[in-house]
Structure 1
Amino acid sequence: MRDQADRRTLFIVSAEAGEALAACVRVDGWRIVVDGGGDGVAGRALASGADVMLVDTRADAPAGAAATQALGGLAAATGRALIALTADTAWLEDLLAVGATHFSVDRGDAHELRQAIRYAAGQVQRDHSDRRGPRFGANADPADVAAWIDARLDDGEHVGVSIIALSRLDILNAARGRAAGDTLIAAARAQVEAVTRGLLGPAAMVAAAGGGDMIVASAAPPPVLARLAAALDAALAKPLPIRGRQAVLGSRWGMAESGPADDAASLLRRAAEALVAAKASDGATVRVAGPEGAAPLDLLAIDLHLAIERGEIDVLFQPQAPIDGRHVTGVEALARWRHGKLGPLGADALFAAADRADLGVALSDHIQELVLARVARWPRPLAGLRVSLNLTAGDLGRPGFAALFLDRVAASGVPFERLTVEITEGGAIRNLEIAAAVLATLREAGVRVALDDFGTGYSSLAYLTALPLDYLKLDKALACGIEATPRHRGVVRAVMTLARSLGLAVIAEGIESEAQRVLLAAEGCTFYQGFLLAEPLDEAALIAMMEMERC
């Protein structure tokens, strides 16, 4: 007998014939949820855990199209199938345009419809399992990487190579099957590709090297390569979704940077030799070829022990405003490390180094105290601003953290009602029940809660039904993509619909153009932040901005 958590769910939306349709299409081993549609349908579909969604458009094509549109973004964001059941093909193009992934024309044949459901479910599963495309827009292989490296070296560029081997796959395959392992490999590769592309764009490439191995080649100076390694390390440490649950894959790294005599073959060989050493090690999971013998993250971890004492950890504040204007109503506190040699480093590199040095809790405490002390001293122009600060996985898992945090806020003199805490899926997922209890205690005291980076992964969707939230923060890639295609806009629209059904305000991150702001406003976004409004500012610049608003 299949485990309840592994049963597939079919979510049927039908205003009139839902129960009859459920009886007609009953698929062995599936759970069927019937919904009448209307407001909040996306939220109910999400809560059902549906693998396949079926919208009955036969009796009322416009209403069916509206329901399909409401669910289209959810399907796109989660990879789930969305079947439009039609009486004819007249509305077919419209249904596909608003998000249907499959369709079925009703010919009165229940067997045919059941086969369509099975096919859609299987096709979506294969799509996810096959998403191993390692390069930006193409399937690269190691030969492509070698040619790419040689071209950069011929141009005199400094090149770094990381060969990353995912681990624990044998255990995962034995426990959950090879298909689950393939899905997680694809998800991990997508994380690596997204981080690499975001930091370096065309100055880097990612390729599959077989099994769970990846090659990341980058043309950049050593400080940038160190930041990339830190960001990738942090991304791969996050739990990944699999069949409604979570799994954490370990990784081993071999790294090498080009020298005067290197070509692609020698650079890849040295990185591969370093990976062999990392796999053989009981401790160090990252090995760097060359005389230094220490990974960038290890060096950063060593430096971090002194960074707090030296006052190198600082905080900047990025303004937030209602989506319909530029009047600043709040800020997000962003940690920065003013490294003596590498220059400014962002939060990803900072917390990756802290985790490597086992200083995560100490660093988070220091940043919280720093933010609260700054806010408590703010002059009148800043006195009314809400302040968002980030909580880490270590915070959410610490015994007694809620009381500790509330005592810290009370001692600072900052009103609880001015604070919002932000969590990411990596921070909450490690123990969802404990995270929910901590956040509920903070909300009872008046602190608000935001789910950060929403739209970057499937697992964050599950948090909406489990965690006490006030805001969704729409990830930059999703928010900025609203200008791209109707498909992108459909995803954003679905998120907005979902947020409204759950009573959550939406904050869009990374907004860079007026067109993005206008489109997001039209879809119902509540607040925004990004370079269109202002970059992260120090206190002096923030005061100047607020005083200028009052002029």
Structure 2
Amino acid sequence: MAERAGWAAIAARRSEGLERRFLASGASVVVIDARATLAEGLAAARQLADAVQANGAALLFLIGRREASAVAAAFEAGATHYLAMPFAEGEFAQALRFAQRHAERLAGGHRAAAGRAKLVESEAMTWRWTPASPARVALSPALAQATGHAEEETDLSRHVAQRLLGRGGLRSALHAVARLREEGGVSPFAHNAQDGRRVAHHLMLEEDAIVGHVEPLDAMRASDTHPRDPLTGLDDGYGARRWIEGRLAQAQAPVLIVIGLSRFDMVNAAFGRPVGDAIIRSVARRIERLAAGSGGARRRLVARLAGAEFAIGLPPPASLDEAEMLAGELVAAIARPFVAGEHVVNLTARIGIATAGGADAGQLLRHASLALADARDGEAARVRVFGDAQEERRAENRRLELDLRLALDEDRIEIVWQPQVAVASGAIAGVEALARWNHPVLGELGAEALFAAAERSDYLAELSRHVQAKAIAAAAGWTGALAGLRVAINVTATDIAEPGFATRMLAMAAEAGLTNRLTVEITEGGLIEDLGGAAELLAELRSGGLRVAIDDFGTGYSSLAYLKALPLDTIKIDRRLTQDIAGSPRDRIVVRGVIDMARSLGLAVVAEGVETEEQLSLLAAEGCTYYQGFLCSPPVDVRALEGLVRAA
């Protein structure tokens, strides 16, 4: 059924090594057929749950006649979706599509998921045979390496095939090819490799060729040619060294990024090794997704070196600029909270970067490690580059800081507005003010990129004040259709820590006549370090007439403690939760719980990132008050905003 729906399916009939086989397959969706064997299905789900979660995949659980206890048990075991008998083939295909959408959202969107799939494909052991050229077979780089072939193509004479497959394996292969041509779908066969390991081939038809996906069925040994870290499924330190040596042997100069998690030993000490291992796997998946972004045909290295250190290798023509941009994204991604069971863990990362510059593999690894040590010793900079290029980059950073300084002085930072819509009536009740910078070289930079750049300089606080003041001043002059809109402005952690922030904000609002229309949105991450101080600051703002919202609620800091301790008016549901509401019943229950808690406390709820009518309909059914997102409008200038308000 999956094959007829257009999926390439790999069957796993045995539970031995199930997690390793899933990681090796690169699959984004797991289907567990437990219609006749619920206990075995639940055991398999529990075995795969960590790997599915860590890889941002989906787990579709098939059960017999609908039973509430079976559904609950499936989700408890790790399922993300379920389908109960009776169901038609079309329903199963639709369930697969929902599961795939869930995996894409976890991967950061369709493009990110496609990039990760390309990375997995580049590492897979596959062969491709075109019957029109019966004497030739194309091997993937990984398979060519594993079988001792230097070239990606080799003569597939009967002698070579028998040497690789063995007499029994060759017969099984010929039978599998005949079965594939007759029946289509996926035709597997297995044989013993030369070193005694059991190997499976999953044959599929692709246009005019037959493609075989090679899967070792026995656990890989330390002496294998393509070593893997058993905890994360990434390359290990030996594999990293071999990747570098391979590039240098081809006169290529790769760029190496080494990532170190700061004080990770405290995680193991505080929560235990199982939690630490789960976090390491989650870190690996975030690194893998980012590193896979645009590797294309040139395979990037993604490896776990040891403990809490990882490496990314960028093949030519990667530049130092590209590596540093990726390093900044890695720092930001790892700073987002990790969840392992009932624990929420916050991590920071330091990164060292080195270019080959004629160095051998050992020197390149050492140079990157020295840069990492330098980053760990530094107070502010979390990314350091080894060598002379670091000075050049520092000059570029100073230039960017000067550009930002000039942009602030010359008032080049613009404000755009995203509508916040009442779910019940469809009327635009308010707007969120967002910053835009039209950089002369880089083009338009959104608020996220703009503030990330400012954070690397000394202008974060000044930029935040500039944007707040400009937004308030602009809204103060609104008349007609815009005059009654509420205005939400963002506040950073730096603002919260600034002495006199509340007094300054209240004074600006009063001078602009916006005291009763202004909402201050604070990201949860800015509150976590000093909950008591944040509560006092928010109480002062509310007593002065402003409303207070927590932005990105549900990103990891969410807890009853925040709702209990902080004086709030609104919570904004993070876009990831909003988009998940159209996924599994479990996702919907989480959103429902957030909305119910907020309403019980008398708080308004704004759902961010609403993009489809289905999402809006489900949010309305759960009692959400307002929404914002591309379903209504992207951020727009004031003229377009006025047209939207009048139309609404």
The TM-score normalised by the length of structure 1 is 0.63
The question of whether the paired residues in 1 share the 8 Å contact of 2:552 and 2:574 is answered with yes
State the alpha-carbon separation in 2 of the partners of residues 395 and 511 from structure 1.
Answer: 28
In structure 2, which of residues 358, 375, 383 is the aligned counterpart of residue 278 of structure 1?
375
Match of 1:483 in 2: 582
For residues 453-493 of structure 1, the C-alpha deviation after alignment (integer angstroms, 9 at most, x for no partner) is 11211455531121111222111111111222222222222
Q: Against the structure 1 CA distance between its residues 460 and 332, is the aligned structure 2 distance closer, same or farther, given a 3 Å change threshold?
A: farther
Match of 1:440 in 2: 539
Match of 1:189 in 2: 283
Q: Against the structure 1 CA distance between its residues 268 and 366, is the aligned structure 2 distance closer, same or farther, given a 3 Å change threshold?
A: same
- Of structures 1 and 2, the one scoring higher in RCO (CA 8 A, sep 6+) is 1
Match of 1:516 in 2: 615
State the alpha-carbon separation in 2 of the partners of residues 540 and 434 from structure 1.
Answer: 39
Q: Against the structure 1 CA distance between its residues 495 and 90, is the aligned structure 2 distance closer, same or farther, given a 3 Å change threshold?
A: same
Query: What is the correspondence of 1:21-40 to structure 2 with a 5 Å cutoff?
Result: none
SS at match of 1:531: coil
For residues 179-236 of structure 1, the C-alpha deviation after alignment (integer angstroms, 9 at most, x for no partner) is 4982795498289559949x95997996544322234568999887666544443455
**Is the aligned partner of 1:342 residue 2:442?**
yes
SS at match of 2:306: coil
The question of whether the paired residues in 1 share the 8 Å contact of 2:267 and 2:276 is answered with no
State the alpha-carbon separation in 1 of the partners of residues 623 and 313 from structure 2.
Answer: 40
In structure 1, which of residues 424, 430, 438 is the aligned counterpart of residue 529 of structure 2?
430
Match of 1:130 in 2: none
Residue 432 of structure 1 deviates from its aligned partner by: 0.7
Number of corresponding residues: 422
Residue 278 of structure 1 deviates from its aligned partner by: 3.2
For residues 421-477 of structure 1, the C-alpha deviation after alignment (integer angstroms, 9 at most, x for no partner) is 111121111211111111112112221111111121145553112111122211111
The question of whether the paired residues in 1 share the 8 Å contact of 2:569 and 2:604 is answered with yes
Match of 1:537 in 2: 636
Partner amino acid, structure 1, of 2:406: L
**Is the aligned partner of 1:213 residue 2:309?**
yes
State the alpha-carbon separation in 2 of the partners of residues 270 and 191 from structure 1.
Answer: 25
SS at match of 1:449: strand
The TM-score normalised by the length of structure 2 is 0.55
In structure 2, which of residues 443, 462, 474 is the aligned counterpart of residue 374 of structure 1?
474
The question of whether the paired residues in 2 share the 8 Å contact of 1:234 and 1:352 is answered with no
Q: Against the structure 1 CA distance between its residues 447 and 359, is the aligned structure 2 distance closer, same or farther, given a 3 Å change threshold?
A: same
Partner amino acid, structure 2, of 1:182: G
Query: What is the correspondence of 1:64-143 to structure 2 with a 5 Å cutoff?
Result: 91-96=68-73, 139-142=232-235
Match of 1:233 in 2: 331
SS at match of 2:552: strand
State the alpha-carbon separation in 1 of the partners of residues 361 and 492 from structure 2.
Answer: 39
The question of whether the paired residues in 2 share the 8 Å contact of 1:321 and 1:330 is answered with yes
Residue 327 of structure 1 deviates from its aligned partner by: 2.6
State the alpha-carbon separation in 1 of the partners of residues 441 and 435 from structure 2.
Answer: 18
Match of 1:64 in 2: none
The question of whether the paired residues in 2 share the 8 Å contact of 1:207 and 1:214 is answered with yes
Partner amino acid, structure 1, of 2:443: G
State the alpha-carbon separation in 2 of the partners of residues 521 and 194 from structure 1.
Answer: 36
State the alpha-carbon separation in 1 of the partners of residues 473 and 524 from structure 2.
Answer: 27
Greater radius of gyration (CA): 2
- What is the RMSD computed on CA atoms of the aligned residues? 4.5
Residue 309 of structure 1 deviates from its aligned partner by: 1.4
In structure 2, which of residues 403, 407, 419 is the aligned counterpart of residue 307 of structure 1?
407
State the alpha-carbon separation in 2 of the partners of residues 504 and 268 from structure 1.
Answer: 53
Structure 2 regions of 5+ residues with no counterpart? 1-52, 54-65, 79-114, 121-231
SS at match of 2:527: helix
Q: Against the structure 1 CA distance between its residues 281 and 431, is the aligned structure 2 distance closer, same or farther, given a 3 Å change threshold?
A: closer
Residue 376 of structure 1 deviates from its aligned partner by: 1.0
Structure 1 regions of 5+ residues with no counterpart? 1-75, 77-88, 103-134
State the alpha-carbon separation in 2 of the partners of residues 392 and 207 from structure 1.
Answer: 34
Q: Against the structure 1 CA distance between its residues 266 and 432, is the aligned structure 2 distance closer, same or farther, given a 3 Å change threshold?
A: same
Residue 545 of structure 1 deviates from its aligned partner by: 2.3
Match of 1:252 in 2: 350
Residue 419 of structure 1 deviates from its aligned partner by: 1.1
**Is the aligned partner of 1:332 residue 2:432?**
yes
Match of 2:174 in 1: none
SS at match of 1:315: strand
Partner amino acid, structure 1, of 2:513: G
State the alpha-carbon separation in 2 of the partners of residues 314 and 542 from structure 1.
Answer: 15
Partner amino acid, structure 1, of 2:375: A
Larger mean CA deviation between 480-489 and 240-249 belongs to 240-249
For residues 65-122 of structure 1, the C-alpha deviation after alignment (integer angstroms, 9 at most, x for no partner) is xxxxxxxxxxx9xxxxxxxxxxxx975125447x6569xxxxxxxxxxxxxxxxxxxx
**Is the aligned partner of 1:465 residue 2:564?**
yes
Match of 1:356 in 2: 456
State the alpha-carbon separation in 2 of the partners of residues 380 and 408 from structure 1.
Answer: 22
State the alpha-carbon separation in 1 of the partners of residues 309 and 401 from structure 2.
Answer: 25
State the alpha-carbon separation in 2 of the partners of residues 516 and 264 from structure 1.
Answer: 50
Partner amino acid, structure 2, of 1:521: A
Q: Against the structure 1 CA distance between its residues 338 and 173, is the aligned structure 2 distance closer, same or farther, given a 3 Å change threshold?
A: same
Q: Against the structure 1 CA distance between its residues 255 and 323, is the aligned structure 2 distance closer, same or farther, given a 3 Å change threshold?
A: farther
Match of 2:182 in 1: none
Residue identity over aligned pairs, in percent, reads 43
Residue 286 of structure 1 deviates from its aligned partner by: 1.7
**Is the aligned partner of 1:292 residue 2:269?**
no
Q: Against the structure 1 CA distance between its residues 191 and 337, is the aligned structure 2 distance closer, same or farther, given a 3 Å change threshold?
A: farther
SS at match of 1:341: coil
